[in-house]
Chain A
Amino acid sequence: MAERMRTVSGPAPPPGAGPTLEALLRRCVQCGLCLPVCATWLASGDETYSPRGRLLLTGQWLAEPEAALGDASWRDALDTCIGCRACSAVCPSGVPHELLEAAAGAARAGRAASGARWLVPLLERPAWLRALGVAAAAGRAAFTVALGRNWRARGERLPALRRLARLVGTVPRAPGSDQRLLRRLDGLAGGAATKPGPLPVVPGPREKLLWFRGCADEGLLPDSARRLRDLLAWAGADLDATAPTACCGALAEHGGCAGRAAGLRARNLAAWGDGSPAAAIVTAAAGCGVAIRDYGPALPAPQIDAIAWLARRARPPFGSVPLRVALHDPCHARHGQGLVAEPRDLLRAIPGLTLLEPDEADVCCGSGGLWSLAHPQLAAEAGRRKAAVLAGTGADLVVTANPGCLGQIADGLALRGGPAVIPLGDLLWYAAMRAPAAAAGRPPGPLAVPPACT
């Protein structure tokens, strides 16, 4: 094979950080226990796309950065890392995800034409995303063809656009408006139709929170984002959504645009100011949550995921939802924020609901933000796999808490014919709507869970 070799100027390992990364790498005992949780290895069966393989290649980068970065196969192997962190979560010898992320970052920065990096500015703007979604919903095929015609000259970008068109066409339609969602879930759950209307405001202790506007949430799932805010308010949150924040920077970081990510971070920190008097910054999309958590000590208030906040919060009881529900954990919730018990506790608190645990629950669905656009083939295979295990549970409904995962899974399930997928927050909102007190517009009875939130 005539290997494509290009000379690319890319960053060497950060000065001073070399020995530390090497020490971290020495922890790897090459046992391979990371393989079966890696979505790219499962999708490809190719160890070049496995965490252990990438760590070996990271060693080459640390030893000879120029040679590694100059090798297309090296860059490809690292660039295909989704960054889902599943490998570090199971690693017995404690190799941290930062190691692979450093190498993957170098690979992306050194790539002359990253598969989807050029899409970052587009995806960081909710309004543009929304327009894309509307266009896609209007006619997915026509939209794709149109995009394809316009971009035919730039062949490398076409698969990414095609995939984007599929996703933005799928995501908004998954939950839809309040009425559409109620109609669909009532149809699944049976029984009396749930009356539309606002969730009641429940007397009790309130907590001030800063609401972070996620681009994909606001752009593609505006109704779901609003329902989640209503649900938080129902559980006692006073949300402040006025801070003029921008994208969290996760997409830029993922696309190898470190400078752009830093700029967004600074802008958001400035928008929040000192954050007072909010107790926490609450995020909806798991990816945003991790990106903001990674801002570190500069954050004016601790970041908390909306689901985690709800799970730890005393709240009125849910109404009955007699459905078999399979939960998909977004990697940035499960591995990035350690949220495993929280969504399960919430779902188990819904009377009548049967929670199903799919196989490979710790494996990424292959969305990975920008990743699925840059690697459409691997992403499609990973999505097909995930859809198969989710459908295999025999669930009536699949829920997840990240717009990227939602699109990826909905796409995979649509292809094979499977249950509907909606945001986890929407199902909780529906369960809250089904509470007898909510339907009657009366204040609910005693709190269901003892106060535990700080």
Chain B
Amino acid sequence: MAERSDVSGAALVVRLRNLLGAGGLRTDRAAISVHARDASHLDWGCPLAVAMPATADEAANVVALCAAAGVAVVPRGAGTGLSGGAVPPDGAVVLVTSRLRELGQVDAACGAVAVGPGVLNAAVSRHAAPCALQFAPDPSSQAASTIGGNIAENAGGPHCLSVGVTSHHLRALAWCDADGRTWDTGPPVALSRGLDLRGLLCGSEGTLGLVTGAWLQLVPVPESVQTLLAGFPVLEAATAAVPRLLQAGLLPVAVEIIDQAMVATVEEAFGFGLPTDVQAVAIVELAGAATATATQATVAESVLRDAGAGSVRRAVDAAERASLWQCRKRAFGAVGRLSPNYVSMDVVVPLGELPGLVREIQHIRTSHGVRIATAFHAGDGNLHPAVHYDERRDGDPERAHTAADAIIRAALARRGSVTGEHGVGLEKLHVLPWQLDAVTASLMQGLKQAFDPRGTLNPGKALPGRAASGAMPQWAAPPPVPAAPVFAWDDLVVTAPVDVPLAELQEHALGRGLWIPLGMFGQGSGHGLGAGRTVGAAVDDPAAGPVAVARATARELLLEVWAETGDGRPFHAGAPVTKNVAGYDLPRLLCGAGGCLARLQAVTFPLRPAPPQAVLWRLCLPDGGRLPAGLAGALAAVAHPHGGAQIVAEAASGQAWLLAGAGGGDDPQPVASLAAGWGVEATLAWRGPFSAVTGILAEAGVPTWALASPDWTLRQPLPGTGTGGQVPALPRCVWNLPLPLVWAPGPLPVATGWHSEAVVNAGRPAPLPAPPPGVPVALLRRLKRLFDPGGTLGGPDWLFEAADG
């Protein structure tokens, strides 16, 4: 650990220059003034120096030198952030990551790539395109913004509706702490238990650590994309159409709305040809297999018309679609043509609240006398109102900011969030207390203290500190803990106390064609997500066993928690929305913590359309019963977008089974032709209702898991159990698709690069596994003490050892 010493700014500059060379450090006036600003239009301080390390080691050394000197470090990617996260205070060192542009080879078999933080977002998808893969998060700044910046802000974008935001696409991170020591977040454990530092670092705005490398999860490029463009005479009607699309069984990759004022701006700038005589234009994009998207587009069109669309047309071709998205993504920049300044907002509300918020914004526009143009990531309930003003006109900026604050209050009154993807930065410090309760805020401040005791990492961002008067902000009151499950069908979320069986929620949701895409499960006795397993157990311990046809894990899906710290302080974190970057991601930290950090009381999960059907394919494996490398990943691409898929491979029998969610009707998934390309013969063995797959069962006394429907049962002895811990000679594997998981009892039969993990019998909770080397155990212990000062919640021994400095 670096020793603190009194090093003057000049001495620090000398040390940094020795480290980085003249080309890697600038202190001249031009560089200082350029790096004092970002895309947020906020002015704060004048930095001491701009450091541009060329390697991850250099970056960590910059942090170490600054820590030793007690000088603030402000990480910066391309400076495209809209909340002021990269704006430095006086005397800080700006650490520019844009030279850390290492772009690793794409691992096509596991759909992943290692990148440096300075790699541009758009460059990742270009790089992966030859493997038919892409990086899903696509913020409008994606042409310029860096992966490091995307991680710091937990960036979203239009195409996050079906696949999630940046934090859902991180397999692992390399990072350095406030003292410049380098760590990683361990292997990419999606389902495993453990304290998930990925989730904390992602969205922490560089206040907890500096990300020096990322292992990104890529998703398959869809075979076909259909883009619908609908004109709505009434804006409210357009917003009301959003939940109806999902309720109709569709899960578009994007649902965007642009209001009339924003359409006028875009048309003036780019002349795309959007209708300017309607109050709103909606863009609905569906992706997947060609046959499926064609059917879905027809359904979507009728839903949009029923919801009040005056016109619906489809994008002619890929070129038109690309041009449409280019217009949409440059919309905010185009505002500069009409207004010298604007407040760029980022509020989120539950989907069902969109029409109400739109009404309120119209009211605010009139009552405050401001011009507001809005672009919505409507499918995420995420709105970007741009409140126009001219800073040269007296009273104009104040009027605009008052109107913006009124919009934020309106969103919070509807259980929303102050920011969905832009981050808190400097800009939203004053409104964060309106959203967070006092205990949650103190936990977040404790996290900052645990990661960065001296407060040198991007200080003054993300969390409000004491006011100049010394007074702490007035925090919000937490919403009451729900006593019974609440299905908000229009919001597409379900909130439930933790003691409710998950199967009960799923059964109720399936009655409406929806589900929590966590996996199917039966009513028998057993383990995994089997019957009797409660919502709370699924959150505490998402690693219980192979999950049949799950789309995601609780880590990706958990939106909101009510919980109690070890010493009995109740708190509430998150919101019933799918995009939320207000403060640190506590739900993600608590998920998989095995109950060591807090006692959960209630949680909120999203509801998504359930696949109407399930199919079971039999795969005849060549080459001694091995599943060809890459086939599992390729099959993930054809799995039903709502349901995911699972492959059960038993090497000895030379065959494997693919169980997948499927659309209604015939829905001919190209499984057979795809498998044939890998030399595997696939035959359709069964097709039936999705709800009939009763999932994981266990048989009395025999550690077995099985998938079953009324017509069939697939059984597999649990590896490593019942055989005296012996690993079978020929491994049996379960691939969970599209989760990056393979369940195997030992080394994988094929070099897929997928993470393998022995399945443990989860009949009773096992202790939290010790983190692998490379993860800072001392830090995890500090987190434990923060949430559970008395140690009353228990936990494994390694979490308690005292001497950690």
Residues of chain A at the chain B interface (Cβ within 8 Å): 1, 3, 26-36, 41, 45-48, 50, 52-53, 56-57, 60, 71-74, 76-77, 90-95, 359
Q: List 13 A-B contacts (CB under 8 A).
A: A1-B13, A1-B28, A29-B335, A31-B80, A32-B78, A45-B101, A47-B98, A50-B34, A52-B79, A76-B30, A93-B336, A94-B269, A359-B126
CB neighbours of B26 from chain A (8 A): 46, 48, 73
Q: Which residues of A contact B27 (CB under 8 A)?
A: 1, 3
Binary contact track B1-39/A, C-beta < 8 Å → 1, others 0: 000000000000100010000000011111101110111
Assess A48 versus B30: contact at CB under 8 Å? Given A30-B37, A36-B120, A36-B144.
Answer: yes
B80 to chain A, nearest CB (A): 4
Contact A92 B336 (CB under 8 A): yes
The answer to whether B333 touches A47 (Cβ under 8 A) is no
Inter-chain CA distance A77–B96, complex, in Å, is 17
Q: Which chain B positions have C-beta within 8 A of A35?
A: 78, 80, 144
Given contacts A32-B78, A56-B33, A60-B33, contact A93 B334 (CB under 8 A): yes
Q: Does B332 contact A (CB under 8 A)?
A: yes
Say yes or no: is B693 at the interface (Cβ < 8 Å to chain A).
Answer: no
B313 lies within 8 A of chain A by Cβ: no
Per a CB cutoff under 8 Å, which of B28, B31, B79, B333 touches A29? Answer: B333
Name the one of A31, A46, A60, A95 contacting B31, with C-beta atoms under 8 angstroms. A46
Residue B141 CB within 8 A of the other chain: yes
- Encoded as 1 (CB less than 8 Å from any A CB) or 0, chain B from 646 to 666 comes to 000000000000000000000
Are B96 and A45 in contact, CB atoms less than 8 angstroms apart? Answer: yes
Is there contact, CB below 8 Å, between A36 and B122?
yes
Cα–Cα, bound, A53→B335 (Å): 20
* Per-position binary interface string of chain B over residues 99-113, scored 1 when its CB falls under 8 Å from any chain A CB and 0 otherwise: 101000000000000
B-side contacts of A93, CB under 8 Å: 269, 333-337
**Inside 8 A of B40's CB, which chain A residues have their CB?**
30
Contacts of A32 in B (CB 8 A): 38-39, 78-80, 141, 144-145
What number of B residues sit within 8 Å (CB to CB) of A? 45
B676 / chain A contacts, CB cutoff of 8 Å: none
* Neighbouring A residues of B751 by C-beta, 8 Å: none
Q: Do B336 and A46 touch across chains, with their CB atoms under 8 A apart?
A: no
By the criterion CB–CB under 8 Å, are B79 and A28 in contact? no
- The answer to whether B143 and A36 have CB atoms under 8 Å apart is yes
User: Is the CB–CB distance between A77 and B39 below 8 Å?
Assistant: no
**With A32-B141, A92-B330, A94-B269 as given contacts, are A48 and B31 in contact (CB-CB < 8 Å)?**
yes
Contact B144 A30 (CB under 8 A): no
The CA of A27 and the CA of B335, in the complex, are separated in Å by 9
CB closest residue in chain B, given A59: B33
Alpha-carbon separation in the docked complex, A28 to B27 (Å): 25
Q: Which residues of B lie under 8 Å from residue A90 when comparing CB positions? A: 143
6 additional contacts (CB under 8 A) given A1-B13, A57-B33, A95-B336: A1-B27, A31-B333, A32-B79, A33-B141, A48-B26, A73-B30
Q: Are B28 and A30 in contact (CB under 8 A)?
A: no
Whether the Cβ atoms of A92 and B332 lie closer than 8 Å is: yes
The answer for the CA separation of A359 and B127 in the assembled complex, in Å, is 10
CB neighbours (8 Å) of A41 from chain B are: 98
User: CA A32 – CA B291 in complex, angstroms?
Assistant: 39
CA distance A57 to B96 in the complex (A): 19
Residues of chain A with a CB closer than 8 A to B37's CB: 30, 56
Q: Is the CB of A92 within 8 A of B144?
A: no
Nearest CB in chain B: distance from A331 CB, A = 18
Assess whether B321 is interfacial by the CB under 8 Å rule: no
Cα A206 to Cα B504 in complex, Å, equals 82
Is B52 on the interface with A (CB-CB < 8 A)?
yes
In the assembled complex, the CB of B35 is this many whole angstroms from the nearest CB of chain A, namely: 6
- Give every chain B residue within 8 A of A73 (Cβ-Cβ): 26, 28-31
A47 touches B96 (CB 8 A): yes
Minimum C-beta distance from B482 to chain A (A): 41
Once A3-B29, A46-B52, A56-B33 are accepted as A-B contacts, the answer to whether A28 and B336 lie under 8 Å apart by CB is: yes
B118 close to A (CB within 8 Å): yes
- Which residues of the partner chain B approach A28 to less than 8 Å between Cβ atoms? 336
In the complex formed, the residue of B with least CB distance to A95 is B336
Complex Cα gap A29–B332 (Å): 9
B781 at the binding interface (Cβ < 8 Å) = no
- A242→B33 CA distance, assembly (Å): 52
Report chain B residues within 8 Å CB of A71. 28-30
Question: Which residues of chain B are near A1, meaning CB under 8 Å?
Answer: 13, 17, 27-28
Bound together, the chains give a CA A36 to CA B101 distance in angstroms of: 13
Q: A128 → chain B, closest Cβ, in Å?
A: 34
**Beta-carbon nearest neighbor of B30 in chain A:** A73
Q: A27 vs B98: C-alpha distance in the bound complex, in angstroms?
A: 26
Q: Which residues of A contact B13 (CB under 8 A)?
A: 1
In the bound complex, CA of A90 to CA of B141 (Å): 12
Given A1-B27, A76-B30, check contact A33 B122 (CB 8 Å).
Answer: no
Option from B333, B337, B342 in Cβ contact (under 8 Å) with A33: B333
Return the contact of B336 from the options A29, A56, A57, A76 (Cβ within 8 A).
Answer: A29
- Please name the residue on chain A nearest to B266 by beta carbon: A92
Q: Are A30 and B99 in contact (CB under 8 A)?
A: no
State whether the Cβ of B41 lies closer than 8 Å to any Cβ in chain A: yes
CB distance from A53 to the nearest CB of B (A): 4
Residue contact B79 to A47, C-beta cutoff 8 Å:
yes
Which residues of chain B from 62 to 120 have a CB within 8 Å of any chain A CB?
78-80, 96, 98-99, 101, 118, 120
**Judging by beta carbons under 8 Å apart, are A27 and B144 in contact?**
no
The reply to whether A91 and B120 form a contact with Cβ atoms under 8 Å apart is no
A residues within 8 A CB of B796?
A: none
B53 to chain A: closest residue by CB? A45
What is the bound-complex CA distance between A1 and B31, given in angstroms?
A: 13
Q: Which residues of B contact A56 (CB under 8 A)?
A: 33-34, 37
Q: B29, B34, B270, B335: which contacts A47 (Cβ < 8 A)?
A: B34
Residue of A nearest to B390 (CB): A26
Distance in angstroms between the alpha carbons of A76 and B28 in the assembled complex: 11
How many angstroms from the CA of A359 to the CA of B269 in the assembled complex? 25
Complex interface: chain B residues within 8 A of A60 (CB): 33
Distance in Å from the Cβ of A19 to the closest Cβ of chain B?
12
Q: Which residues of A contact B50 (CB under 8 A)?
A: 46, 48
Chain A, residue nearest B35 (CB): A47
Smallest Cβ-Cβ distance to B99: which chain A residue: A45
Residue B340 lies at the interface, judged by CB distance under 8 Å to chain A:
yes
CA distance A92 to B375 in the complex (A): 15
Chain B residues, Cβ within 8 Å of A27: 336-337, 340
> Using Cβ atoms and an 8 Å threshold, which residues of chain B touch A94?
269, 334, 336-337
Cβ–Cβ < 8 Å partners of B38 in chain A: 30, 32
Q: Give the residues in chain A near B28, CB-CB below 8 Å.
A: 1, 3, 71-73
Asked if B144 and A45 sit within 8 Å, CB to CB, the answer is: no
Bound: A56/B33 CA distance, A:
8
In the complex, the chain B residue whose C-beta lies closest to that of A1 is B27
A1 to B9, CA, bound (A): 11
Closest to A3 in B: B28
Q: Which 8 A-B pairs have the closest CB atoms?
A: A92-B333, A93-B336, A73-B28, A92-B330, A73-B30, A29-B336, A53-B34, A45-B98
Give Cα A62 to B707, complex, Å. Answer: 72
Least Cβ distance of B134 to chain A in Å? Answer: 15
Shortest beta-carbon distance, B26 to chain A, in Å? 7
Contact A26 to B335, CB < 8 A, known contacts A36-B122, A56-B34: no
Instruction: Specify the chain A residue showing the minimal Cβ separation from B96.
Output: A45
- Tell me the bound Cα distance from A60 to B50 in angstroms: 19
Closest to B54 in A: A45
Closest-CB distance, A7 to chain B (whole angstroms): 15
* Chain B, range 301-335, C-beta contacts under 8 Å to A: 330-335
A124–B78 CA distance with the chains assembled, in angstroms:
39
Contacts of A74 in B (CB 8 A): 29-30
Please judge, given known A-B contacts A33-B143, A45-B96, A46-B96, whether A57 and B120 are in contact too, CB under 8 Å: no
Question: Per-position contact with A for B455-478: 1 when CB-CB < 8 Å, else 0?
Answer: 000000000000000000000000
Give chain A residues whose Cβ lies under 8 Å from the Cβ of B336: 26-29, 31, 92-95
Q: How far is the CA of A160 from the CA of B749 in the complex (A)?
A: 59
Shortest C-beta distance, A121 to chain B (Å), equals: 30
Most buried by B among A28, A48, A72, A94: A48
